[in-house]
Amino acid sequence: MSGNTFGKIFKLHTFGESHGKAIGGIIDGCPAGLKLDAEFIQYELARRKTNQGLWTSPRNEPDELQFLSGVFEGITLGTPIAFIVENKNQNPADYEHLKNVYRPSHADYTYEQKYGIRDYRGGGRSSARETVARVVGGAIAKLLLKTQSIEILAFVSKIKNIHIDYDVNKISTEQIEKNPFRCPSHHKDQEIQDIIKLAKKTGDTIGGVITCVVKNVPAGWGEPVFDKLNAVLAHALFSINAVKGVEFGNGFGIVEKFGSEANDEMFVENNRIQFRTNYSGGIQGGISNGNDIVMHVAFKPISSVKKQQHTVSSQKENVTIQVEGRHDVMILPRAVPIVESMVALVLADMYLISRTNQL
Amino acid sequence: MSGNTFGKIFKLHTFGESHGKAIGGIIDGCPAGLKLDAEFIQYELARRKTNQGLWTSPRNEPDELQFLSGVFEGITLGTPIAFIVENKNQNPADYEHLKNVYRPSHADYTYEQKYGIRDYRGGGRSSARETVARVVGGAIAKLLLKTQSIEILAFVSKIKNIHIDYDVNKISTEQIEKNPFRCPSHHKDQEIQDIIKLAKKTGDTIGGVITCVVKNVPAGWGEPVFDKLNAVLAHALFSINAVKGVEFGNGFGIVEKFGSEANDEMFVENNRIQFRTNYSGGIQGGISNGNDIVMHVAFKPISSVKKQQHTVSSQKENVTIQVEGRHDVMILPRAVPIVESMVALVLADMYLISRTNQL
Amino acid sequence: MSGNTFGKIFKLHTFGESHGKAIGGIIDGCPAGLKLDAEFIQYELARRKTNQGLWTSPRNEPDELQFLSGVFEGITLGTPIAFIVENKNQNPADYEHLKNVYRPSHADYTYEQKYGIRDYRGGGRSSARETVARVVGGAIAKLLLKTQSIEILAFVSKIKNIHIDYDVNKISTEQIEKNPFRCPSHHKDQEIQDIIKLAKKTGDTIGGVITCVVKNVPAGWGEPVFDKLNAVLAHALFSINAVKGVEFGNGFGIVEKFGSEANDEMFVENNRIQFRTNYSGGIQGGISNGNDIVMHVAFKPISSVKKQQHTVSSQKENVTIQVEGRHDVMILPRAVPIVESMVALVLADMYLISRTNQL
Amino acid sequence: MSGNTFGKIFKLHTFGESHGKAIGGIIDGCPAGLKLDAEFIQYELARRKTNQGLWTSPRNEPDELQFLSGVFEGITLGTPIAFIVENKNQNPADYEHLKNVYRPSHADYTYEQKYGIRDYRGGGRSSARETVARVVGGAIAKLLLKTQSIEILAFVSKIKNIHIDYDVNKISTEQIEKNPFRCPSHHKDQEIQDIIKLAKKTGDTIGGVITCVVKNVPAGWGEPVFDKLNAVLAHALFSINAVKGVEFGNGFGIVEKFGSEANDEMFVENNRIQFRTNYSGGIQGGISNGNDIVMHVAFKPISSVKKQQHTVSSQKENVTIQVEGRHDVMILPRAVPIVESMVALVLADMYLISRTNQL
């Protein structure tokens, strides 16, 4: 009801405010018998972490993950898997000046309207720090999906107005992780550096697009009519802060084609049904068709800019604000594992649901 | 679980195959005491109906709505409101030739992979006829939202590559309903007619974009972190057949801006908090901010084209197919009330949930 | 939320007021590929029906069942199975005098307090007629459970203060169906007839206990900690009108034993783990242990008595009332298939959930 | 799905194995603005704790409660309230001998059948230690219900075969808390001591009945047809370990009455509708009627007896077992706050749901 749970069988419940004691969650519904590879989960958390790259802030979040339940001798018990990451390096005093002012395009005003109260320290529950729990949940979902050979690959395909080319059949995690911006190729690295430097200089921020490709999903996952695979994936992706658009396959581009140009024709080769094209992005009628699932996610520029902006106080006065503090210039590379995590959570759930579809 | 229910408090359960006995549903969780304006609901159904316009097929679906429960002397009882619309004018024999062949970019192949069985008559459960139940549910949701002065306005803002201009502050239902394509203005009517005629002549189909604007939603609706208002709206919209993209406010366009250009600055006037711009589309941090909620929905062209296409049979043979029968050239104008209905269902639910947010 | 849905994967949504157009429901989540034996379902409905026995009223409800969706050529499609039974033989005028008076121990007063409105005709939604939908849902659940060899046997084990003896290993449906009161043996038939005659003569009603035994449930069903198998069964049973108590195995009797007398010792014979006793009623730690599941359900006497009673009007006046009309002297024999249906719904759901417990 | 969540709007998610790192949970859906009285919550936990009474084991569990989120300056934020209690004083070696043997009437065998794996240390997830999280959740629910003047009073009304008399209108928490067995009066204290001493001497255990009375629930709570107030309360109560029976009002006793004797007649006095009797236990048609809600809960004797018993090993051998270790002779007094907690969780949820029943 209150929006802190994701999933139906494989569920993630999360909790935590940015400057509270801890961020954490519970994975409930993970089948018993799964080897919980703690190293992999910690690695995924590290991917999300602020590091010392060009585009990041000098903040340092040690993100030490503790599991509290649900695992016995390294194997899942089928019982809830609870985990926490304590919040450290907090300077609540940094936020005192935000107590009575609403930062533009943040959730300050809307949380206060909704609840009549708000933890103003670092955005409280609305902070992107909350995604720590998504990445832990997503990592466990990935471990489950690996037993089905499923691979989830996200990368930055556009930064501000710079498109980065890629070939969906040639991308690999190794290649993406090597790129400083988690782009699928280096051919625009210089342009990207230039735009980041410009934004830093002017105290501004930038956004972009993350593309996610999922390989080896079998045909038959997704629950029409309301829980179509694309509908639940979109729900998952739009639940990430700053996401303003989601499309599958050719997305908004497909509307300019005729139907005969937009359909994915089928053929049989070696007794296997295949598709000539993948305009649909691997989903038809809300159910996976066995092709790569392809989606694109638009992230707006970070709202915390160091430029002066007009806004209002909780006393309804007109004021100006400059959001200081340790903020990234762009969120995109750090959002890559978050996108993958949300996609993994959806697919882990759809996998378990699919076990109940036939007699 | 199985995807035939939408909503958490204000729920719509739907059922029905295209050529089964009936399409219908249950609205559960509608508060007691609502006047159920049957005429309005029937009017909404008529908006969805195939008519004799240029862009539609000569099919005729009488769509007589019967309520079975939940209403007493015209007032809702607080108990489930069940309704059915019988399926008439069926020619199952029309579909016999599709029994063993998968139409490209339809759900034929995916349903069969999922369930091991499929009702091949007119797409069965995957048919757009299923949206009848959404429109009835949406109409009841609209009646509930009207008690809160909320108005939902959808219209066709792009047909194939033709953009239709509009001013979000000047559109009205009357104006949209007068336009033969449910566009917000007439300035592209001739271009649209030409492209439709061309598609008809070549046995082809076209897609486009529907924009939806919601007025008077109070600040404070939406349930972060996973059930952000935009996340649940996107879920709702992607659950409609043929939707391939959804964006809020400036959507994919916002990624090309700097943060300082993309933020919605606030000001106070007459003791009321307002926004200088609405790039966010009325939602911040997943909660409504009191501004118009604005979203854009991409519909791919209809998959049923009369041109010959390559596909496969259920016996894994390569075959060709021409989808004959009574099909529209585009779905967009009929999809307008469907988009509105899904948006209404989300907002009715968020309204009731919001009653539980504070002490 | 609003209490008209039962189950998590295998779900029953119901609707309908006693004197509305129809009673019905949707079974959602039934796996595809199940042969839907319409004759068996109609037979189950007939078991619930008022007949001309000693203990029943002369009412006649023809209960013609129509399926609207979800079945194709006699096989379930995996899509929602909707069904209705039209309400006939209605005399709403019979109820006009109850419009402004609350019958003692009925739901008249509580519904009006809850919803601010009430359909006073025959109890509206609170009528036992609502169980028609449970029996249809339960019959489909039984068909699913039969594929797992599970057998559900309920019978009347106590009528007022008359205990009916039985041996849990010797009861059979045939034997129960042959008894005019659905008792497991004939040895108290005369006593029962006498008490019924007495009640009829004085315009009074009687209650009793129904026992339900389930055979062949494998060890491992039930979802601790909150959805223990006994907890969900109790939820199901208490949702039936007039139920005031539920116990498993030795129930309230077990509290008088020492722990060493109450435990079910285990042993191995022919390489099969077995239990010396079944005081637990087949459930330990909320999970089935492979033994017979045994439960007892207390039904209060029907509230509609023909004797004069004190009550109040909706205008807050003291009044007296005699509930006339066609009412049974006891509900027990008709409640037998309802108890079985609720148990079947729980087990069908637990069966599907159990498919997701292990890797 | 997996049974670790209770509630629909006011939800408790729990986690933790007896000898894992921590027991804990998340309260989600608690309205913003509630003063979280930490002292009261810790007091409730202390009530559940093993102490040094006659009937308890010498174990010592310090149960230090930490809140991790959802509270800001002592007030609930409307966001999830996470809490943990670390497990201390663990001797896993104590349990090594139980690794391959199934204790009779425990959940050892059933957990292993369900999940294919089991944490054998102290019962793992099936341990009564899990109820720590229920008591924390219940205490927060009580704080919410106090804003509605609702009072929940449980007490031990039967120990083995000893009935303890009480007058529902005269009981008070103070009186109950003063009694060493949480009985409502002292008149059977000597008899109780004798039976406890006997059980201790023979290495045996005893059970009993807890009665719970709820005062000041307004008419109109509960969600028919499936989520009747009694149905959800029974679900909650049967989810507690060792519960074998639940009844409301006169329960199993009411079946021996005629309808005219069992009905609760109504009258008006001082313009207020009242009931002459409360055989129904405060619930009619699944909805509260404004009267005291009264229920009785049967607890079987603790399964861990020190007498030798027959059982089997996981290698399917016949073995004998004596369950040593620090075990209570009876659970009843410690179960009193657990019963109250489960009842509070149900009522807090029904309270919030009731806010959505009318326009």
D356 and B357: CB-CB below 8 Å? no
Range list of H helices, chain D: 38-48, 108-115, 131-146, 173-178, 189-202, 229-238, 259-262, 332-354
For residue D359, is it within any domain?
no
For residue A201, is it within any domain?
yes
**Is it the case that residue D348 has pLDDT exceeding 70?**
yes
Largest CA distance in chain B: 71
Tens digits of per-residue pLDDT, D266-306? 999 999 999 999 999 999 999 999 999 999 999 999 999 99
Q: Which of the other chains make 3 or more beta carbon contacts under 8 angstroms with chain C?
A: A, B, D
Residues in chain C: 359
For residue A66, is it within any domain?
yes
Tens digits of per-residue pLDDT, C284-310? 999 999 999 999 999 999 999 999 999
Report the 3 state secondary structure along chain C. Answer: CCCCEECCCCEEEEECCCCCCEEEEEEECCCECCECCHHHHHHHHHHHCCCCCCCCCCCCCCCCEEECCCEECCEECCCCEEEEEECCCCCHHHHHHHCCECCCCCCHHHHHHHHCCCCCHHHHHHCHHHHHHHHHHHHHHHHHHHCCCCEEEEEEEEECCEECCCCCCCCCHHHHHHCCCCCCCCCCHHHHHHHHHHHHHHCCCECEEEEEEEECCCCCCCECCCECHHHHHHHHHHCCCCEEEEEECCHHHHHHCEHHHHCCCEEEECCEEEECCCCCCCEECCEECCCCEEEEEEECCCCCCCCCEEEEECCCCEEEECCCCCCCCCCHHHHHHHHHHHHHHHHHHHHHHHCCCEC
Establish whether this prediction's ipTM goes over 0.95: yes
Identify the pLDDT of residue D122: 87
Q: Is D283 helix (H, G, I), strand (E, B) or coil?
A: strand
For residue B359, is it within any domain?
no
Provide the 8-state DSSP code for B104. Answer: T
Question: Closest approach of chain C CAs to the CA of A262, in angstroms?
Answer: 28
Question: Closest approach of chain D CAs to the CA of C73, in angstroms?
Answer: 32
Range list of H helices, A90-228: 108-115, 131-146, 173-178, 189-202
What is the b/e burial string over B66-77, where b = at least 16 CB atoms within 10 angstroms of the residue's CB? ebbbbbbeebbb
A355 and C357: CB-CB below 8 Å? no
Which of A206, A237, A238 to mutate to probe the B interface, most B CBs <10 Å?
Answer: A238
Tens digits of per-residue pLDDT, B236-293? 999 999 999 999 999 999 999 999 999 999 999 999 999 999 999 999 999 999 999 9
Single-letter residue type at C274: Q
Nearest CA-CA partner of B81 in B33, B27, B143, B141: B27
Q: Which residues in chain A are contacts of C1 at CB distance < 8 A?
A: 1
A265 and B318: CB-CB below 8 Å? no
Q: How far apart are CA C135 and CA C154, in angstroms?
A: 13
Number of B to D CB contacts under 8 A, please give it.
39
**How much of chain B, in percent, has pLDDT values that exceed 90?**
90
Is residue A145 within 8 angstroms of chain C, CB to CB? no
* Residue pair B237/B299 in contact by the 8 Å Cβ criterion: no
Put simply, the chain D residues between 262 and 321 with a CB less than 8 A from any chain B CB are none
Tens digits of per-residue pLDDT, C136-168? 999 999 999 999 999 999 999 999 999 999 999
Largest CA distance in chain D: 71
We report the CATH number of the domain holding residue D65 as 3.60.150.10
- Assigned token pair, B267: 């000001």
For residue C359, is it within any domain?
no
Neighbours of A131 (CB within 10 A): 24
Q: How far apart are CA C339 and CA C348, in angstroms?
A: 14
What count of Cα atoms within 13 Å lies in the side-chain half-sphere of residue D326?
Answer: 14
A236 and B231: CB-CB below 8 Å? yes
Per-residue pLDDT 10s for chain A (359 aa) are 789 999 999 999 999 999 999 999 999 999 999 999 999 999 999 999 865 566 666 555 568 999 999 999 999 999 999 999 999 866 767 788 889 999 999 999 999 999 999 999 989 999 999 999 999 999 999 999 999 999 999 999 999 999 999 999 999 999 999 999 999 999 999 999 999 999 999 999 999 999 999 999 999 999 999 999 999 999 999 999 999 999 999 999 999 999 999 999 999 999 999 999 999 999 999 999 999 999 999 999 999 999 999 999 999 999 999 877 667 899 999 999 999 999 999 999 999 999 999 99
Nearest CA-CA partner of B31 in C114, C208, A121: C114
Among B228, B233, B358, beta carbon nearest to A116: B358
Listed as ranges, residues in chain C with pLDDT below 70 are 50-62, 89-90, 92, 326
D347-D349-D352 Cα angle (round to 5): 110
**Is it the case that residue D162 has pLDDT exceeding 80?**
yes
Identify the pLDDT of residue B54: 66
* Residue pair C138/C342 in contact by the 8 Å Cβ criterion: yes
Which of B28, B35, B69, B99 to mutate to probe the C interface, most C CBs <10 Å?
Answer: B69
**Is it the case that residue D57 has pLDDT exceeding 80?**
no
Q: How far apart are CA A17 and CA A4, in angstroms?
A: 12
Q: Is B30 helix (H, G, I), strand (E, B) or coil?
A: coil
Among A125, A208, A304, beta carbon nearest to B225: A125
C32 and A352: CB-CB below 8 Å? no
Q: How far apart are CA D92 and CA D88, in angstroms?
A: 11
As a dihedral over the C-alpha atoms of residue C243, residue C244, residue C250, residue C256, rounded to 10 degrees, the angle is: -170
Q: Which long-range contacts (CB under 8 A, 24 or more apart) does D182-186 make?
A: D182/D154, D182/D155, D182/D156, D182/D332, D182/D333, D182/D336, D183/D155, D183/D156, D183/D157, D183/D159, D184/D155, D184/D156, D184/D157
For residue C76, is it within any domain?
yes
Identify the pLDDT of residue A2: 84
Cis before B225 (ω within 30) = yes
Identify the pLDDT of residue C11: 98
Tens digits of per-residue pLDDT, B298-355? 999 999 999 999 999 999 999 999 877 767 899 999 999 999 999 999 999 999 999 9
Q: How far apart are CA A235 and CA A238, in angstroms?
A: 5
B162-163 and B208-215 beta bridge pairing: unpaired
* Residue pair C290/C218 in contact by the 8 Å Cβ criterion: yes
Is residue D45 within 8 angstroms of chain A, CB to CB? no
D11 and A24: CB-CB below 8 Å? no
Identify the pLDDT of residue A148: 98
B82 and C24: CB-CB below 8 Å? yes
Identify the pLDDT of residue D69: 98
C248 and D248: CB-CB below 8 Å? no
For residue A288, is it within any domain?
yes
Q: What is the DSSP string of A131-153?
A: HHHHHHHHHHHHHHHHTTT-EEE
Main-chain dihedrals φ then ψ at residue D140, nearest 5 degrees: -70, -40
Q: How far apart are CA B84 and CA D127, in angstroms?
A: 49
- Assigned token pair, C339: 């108890």
For residue A42, is it within any domain?
yes
Residue with tokens 């008529």: B46
Is residue A116 within 8 angstroms of chain D, CB to CB? yes
Single-letter residue type at B261: E
Tens digits of per-residue pLDDT, D63-91? 899 999 999 999 999 999 999 999 986 67
Question: Closest approach of chain D CAs to the CA of B138, in angstroms?
Answer: 17
Domain total for chain A? Answer: 1
Q: Which domain holds residue B98?
A: 5-354
Identify the pLDDT of residue A327: 74
**How much of chain B, in percent, has pLDDT values that exceed 70?**
95
* Residue pair D154/D210 in contact by the 8 Å Cβ criterion: yes
> Which helix (H) or strand (E) is B108 found in, with range?
helix B108-115
In a 10 Å sphere around its CB, with 0-12 CB exposed, 13-18 middle and 19+ buried, how is residue C300 labelled?
A: buried
